[in-house]
Amino acid sequence: MTNIYVNLNVPRGEVDPKIFGHFCEHAFGNIYGGYYDPGNPNADADGFRLDVIEALKEVAPTIMRYPGGNFVSNYHWEDGIGPKENRKKVFEYAWLTEESNQFGTADFIELCRRVGAEPLICVNMGTGTIEEAMHWIEYCNGTGDTYYANLRRSHGYEEPFGVKYWGLGNESYGPWQMNNYTAEEYADKAFQFAKALKWVDPTIKLVACGYEQITDWNVTVVKKLWQMIDYISAHHYSCVWGPFNQENYLETMCIGDYMEKLHKMTCSAITAGMNDTASSIKVAWDEWNFNGWALENAEDDKAYTLQNALVTALILNMFIRNGETIGMANYSTFVNITGALSVTEQGIVRRAQFPVFELLRHQTGKQIYQADVVGESYSVKLPQSQKIGREKISIDLLELFSGNDGDNHRSSYVDAAVTGDEDGTIYVSLVNKHPEEDMEVSLHFFWEKEVTSLEGYTIYAEEIDAANTADQPDTIKVQKLDSAATKENRCDIVLKKHSINVLKFKK
């Protein structure tokens, strides 16, 4: 039996809806052949894949990050504007490909507008200049009678794009990046970029490049930039580019716990860098995924199983629980590569992760409530001395994570996040991690009046390795649950093995 104690008396923070964001990059069929595929029967006159757009609307992304990623560190935005027949094809240094520049700034803004997402643009701090970045903001947001504002108008966009969120480079600590830096070098350069960009538009919000695994990097960056920035980034790919073994199921069920540890380390670095106990700077998990992009069978939809969906739900629950300090998150990527939506010339497949975003995006409230889980747990031995990033740096990532139990980490079989809306609706997101057993759960609500049950939803398949494919597209999907009765502010329910669940109540 697992007991979950929920205090509904005082919300302890708010969920920023920008945690339900996504990421797009000029790489491996994400944009070309993904969002944008001129000539395809499913594309419109502007080249956008209508089936992809409609699927994206189902998960209602709140923010989209562009154009990278590694790609941005040698991207020159003026190559991707104006008449498409005049755009030059260039050698692309991040992924060693040819870039046609047929998809550029205005196309990205159009994509965001079609799906209702805020744009987040990352500037080139690798081969780019401060002036180039300033011109990009002027092109997007300028309202005056200046060259780049008028250039936008000449391209058919009279009104400014109003891009509020801007990123200061990408993974600048990494040797896989075009022109990587030490923390001090990055902080000095980012400071110069930040002040110049805010000269162009003082209303913008800036995301600094953080390093969630090294607190020294973040302390150095925050010390220099704290008056300039609104967010500091954190990236995580659990397997392939990360320390976890996908073949060890229970180990992967600890990924949300591990990311929560990294998140708290990042928050500590922010307050240390500010030399204060409070901070308005939030963490932007602006790249995250269960798998790194170098997954051997990345194009095989069968590789994206219920296990992947469970980890995705655990990570989103972690973001929800830490909503006071997380300002945005961007799933990397949503389309193709290791994303939630597989796109081919013939059509699309909503992979196992897709219904997780569909469910939690629409069944998460604004206010966060404390939920304490007491019940059966398990212990797992975690790996040490794993390669991270692009197999360039070796660090004992999990040394601190193992706690006081030697090399083992203990985790509850049931994971919970509880939110609510002002109308009194309560959303309880529950994940049963157990590979073989259903779990009996009792929810105890602390509230002065009676809490009543409304409805429930589940994502479940009998086998952990179940997947959605073109032949079987609905093996993993959101299903309705029978409502669970409440009595004296207690609700008893049995969660199926390896399942994702959301229960709705009214207080």
Task: State the DSSP string of 379-413.
Answer: EEEPP-SEEETTTTEEE-TTTTTTTTSTTEEEEES
d(CA 93, CA 84): 22
- For the annotated catalytic residues, the residue numbers are 171, 287
Q: Amino acid letter at 36?
A: Y
SS3 percent helix, strand, coil of the chain, rounded to 5, is 25, 30, 45
Contact 330, 287 (CB under 8 A): yes
Beta bridge partners of 342: 349
d(CA 418, CA 416): 7
d(CA 455, CA 68): 39
d(CA 220, CA 270): 9
HSE value, Cβ hemisphere, 13 Å, CA-based, for 248: 15
d(CA 386, CA 384): 6
Q: Amino acid letter at 360?
A: L
Task: State the DSSP string of 284-298.
Answer: EEEEEEEE-TT-TTT
d(CA 235, CA 41): 36
The structure tokens listed for 406 are 């030697």
d(CA 498, CA 109): 39
CA 255 to chain CA centroid, Å, is: 14
